[in-house]
Structure 1
């Protein structure tokens, strides 16, 4: 084994953000020699990422389209007590095996899996197997950094893919089925019909704590399937916890004197209210290929700081959700939101809400106690 390797750009972390950066450089900057370093056995781990068509601009679809494993052109729907709605915006999903296969086919042997990082500088990486990489630049996309400087609620989930004995009868994704019993905050079930006999069922919570009782949620998923009359076997499982950031100090999360460039959740690049990172990961990767590698830490931190400032409105909404709404009544906020115009909903998920959108979301009959809402509004998040 060669103990010293070199490259122009070392990308730490083969999750979605790191992989998209590597794919963008391979396509747009083939002169840049890259290495993608992932501690797990597979690129992307064990995940499903989903996005609405409007989350990614037309000019950036070239990067993400080869990864899409399922697409529902007919749109999606939501369900709340006394309210069900179908929306026309197409929906897409990416499964990690497709990401893994595409990255390996595109990058070849510069993809390094099962490889953990021991130490990092702006121009070098030392691996736990004692190999060292000399790099023109390094960017760290290894998931979240220390979240203690941030004030967070949590979106947490357990998902099962079921191969059923009979057709499930669902023709489009159900983004939120909030007709289920409410517990541990706002609870909803998320459904993706992969084919006539296969459905992905994810039990999701907007909760005050990151604790995930997997066995209990497994049982709730089984009960949900039974209530629908679905019988079959589980062919895939996944789980996760995403931060829903409603305040904090960006300068503590990413100190100014940290000399290593960052990407993805480690850079704070996600929609604060939803925790979803795919739209920002695509935007960041296509932006990064035009940046000077010798100034990577400076330009990426400036980009992330601007993103933090632009997210103040979404953090305010998150603070209202977790600070003003009674946990088992949080579903009313989402039910009211899904009564608004479809283009507004789309811009919200993409993190592109207009000033008019922002006013409209906060106006009207409040779905939270007015006194608690005012207390929250008078103490806005950082």
Structure 2
């Protein structure tokens, strides 16, 4: 039996777990917080970007120290139109998350280990040792995915070194002028300096299989099409994220499961974009500013997750339109049309704060997909 009891154990040192640790250290520094992460580095090897409007004013201090790059605006590009959007855009580097967490947690409160069994108050590790806590929070990534109906967003991103320069002044959040024959695809570009640019090839697919070599080849081809001579690749990351079209919340998170969840483990992400940062920040702020850190934490996080699931019904319907109403080669038309809408609506959509009027505006007019397929996708009650 464990002889020592922590105030809270956080399982998983990704974005959600790291932000929770930072929030607790900031708002409730008297607590004994233990973070368990099997990887060597908190946050792994990732870049997370967000729009300026995604983070509430009272939460900006939580992420400010993590921002590695920032720009005053960004671009999107489709075959039918280009658009420059005057909205601040920021990128967080996992290296900064690692540094920030290690600065607030003592070395013995960051444990490199793997949890094999979890209860609301106890964690068993793979060496059979057990750790006790007043509360346990599980942020280890998506669980219960069999209960979700989804397509997939898949990507490979590379930081390219281009000695002659790339001449990209601001982020290109979506360049969808690339080939669309396999489904909605776009290239994402972040200019970190005059000679460094992060290029990510992303596409929406019906299957989760990731062909890393294929996407790496696409990035090389894109660089050639821009006239860039790449000296070398400085970093690379990959991802396969769910685009949720439906499912059953009570199967994803059964009522009898009393272990608290955060991050994508609890379903706290945007169903259509797979975007989790705004929800991770909101959750971490809530945790630090008043969440019950005892046996009530599990039910409290499940209630937040159920509310988030209900709120995402419209976005799941849009995801069904993308995957089931649009033919693969024409899926881009859904996003192309979306980016003709007002900037304020786009901002609220990405932040997961769409209003009822926003939803009317998104659906108004002739749909960019076959009408009969659009109606069937809309009427599915999942």
* TM-score normalised per structure 2: 0.97
Q: Tell me how far apart the structure 1 counterparts of residues 190 and 235 of structure 2 sit (CA, whole Å).
A: 13
Q: Distance in 1 between matches of 2:31 and 2:111?
A: 20
1:201 aligns with 2:202: no
Q: Does residue 77 of the first structure (1) align with residue 75 of the second (2)?
A: yes
Distance 1:56 1:134 in 2: 34
CA contact 2:21–2:33 (8 Å) conserved in 1? yes
Quick check: 1:56–1:279 contact (8 Å CA) kept in 2? yes
Greater shift in the superposed pair: 371-380 or 330-339:
371-380
Partner of 1:211: 209
Match of 2:89 in 1: 91
* 8 Å CA contact 2:147, 2:248 repeated in 1: yes
Runs of 4+ in 1 over 2 A off after TM superposition: 3-6, 110-114, 129-132
Paired residues of 1:15 and 1:43 also in contact (CA < 8 A): yes
Q: Structure 1, unaligned stretches of length 5 or more?
A: none
Gaps of 5+ in 2: none
Provide closer, same or farther for how the CA distance between residues 201 and 250 of structure 1 changes in structure 2, counting only shifts above 3 A.
Answer: same
- Return the offset for 1:111: 4.2
Residues 329 and 113 of structure 1: is their aligned pair in 2 closer, same or farther, counting only changes over 3 Å?
A: farther
Q: Distance in 2 between matches of 1:376 and 1:173?
A: 33
Q: Secondary structure at the match of 1:159?
A: strand
The alpha-carbon deviation at position 212 of structure 1 amounts to 0.7
**Do the aligned partners of 1:77 and 1:172 also contact (CA within 8 Å) in 2?**
yes
Q: Which residue of 2 aligns with 1:52?
A: 51
Query: For 1:292-371, what aligned pairs fall within 5 Å after superposition?
Result: 292-294=292-294, 295-371=296-372
Aligned to 1:195, the other structure's residue is in SS state coil
Alignment of 1:1-382 (within 5 A): 5-73=4-72, 75-231=73-229, 232-289=231-288, 290-294=290-294, 295-380=296-381, 382=382
Alpha-carbon offset, residue 366 of structure 1: 1.4
Are 1:246 and 1:319, in contact at CA under 8 Å, matched by a contact in 2? yes
Separation of aligned partners in 2, 1:110 and 1:64: 24
By how many angstroms is 1:113 displaced? 4.6
1:72–1:173 contact (8 Å) kept in structure 2: yes
Structure 1 residues 159 and 4: alpha-carbon distance in aligned structure 2, compared to 1, 3 A threshold? farther
Kindly indicate whether the alpha-carbon contact (under 8 Å) linking 2:144 and 2:253 is maintained by their aligned counterparts in 1. Answer: no
SS in 2 for 1:271: coil
- In 1, Cα distance between the equivalents of 2:108 and 2:335? 44
> TM-score scaled by structure 1?
0.97
Cα deviation digits, residues 329-371 of structure 1 (max 9, x gap): 1111111100111000000000111111100000112110111
Deviating more after overlay: 187-196 vs 115-124: 115-124
- Change over 3 Å in CA distance of 1:297–1:192 after alignment to 2: same
Q: Is the Cα contact below 8 Å between 1:34 and 1:110 reproduced in 2?
A: no
Q: Distance in 1 between matches of 2:165 and 2:18?
A: 35
State the shift of 1:275 in Å.
Answer: 0.5
Measure, in 2, the Cα distance between the counterparts of 1:361 and 1:29: 41
User: What's the offset of the Cα at 1:108?
Assistant: 2.4
Q: Distance in 1 between matches of 2:25 and 2:315?
A: 34
Distance 1:217 1:203 in 2: 6
What secondary structure sits across from 1:103 in the alignment? helix
Provide the secondary structure at the position in 2 that maps to 1:191. Answer: strand
What's the CA shift string for 1:80-114, capped at 9, x where partnerless? 00311000001001111111111111212244253
3-state SS of 2:105 partner: helix
CA distance, structure 2, for counterparts of residue 293 and residue 102 of structure 1: 23
User: Any idea what SS the aligned residue of 1:145 has?
Assistant: coil
Task: Say what the alpha-carbon RMSD is for the aligned residues.
Answer: 1.2
In 2, the alpha carbon distance for the partners of 1:43 and 1:265 equals 16
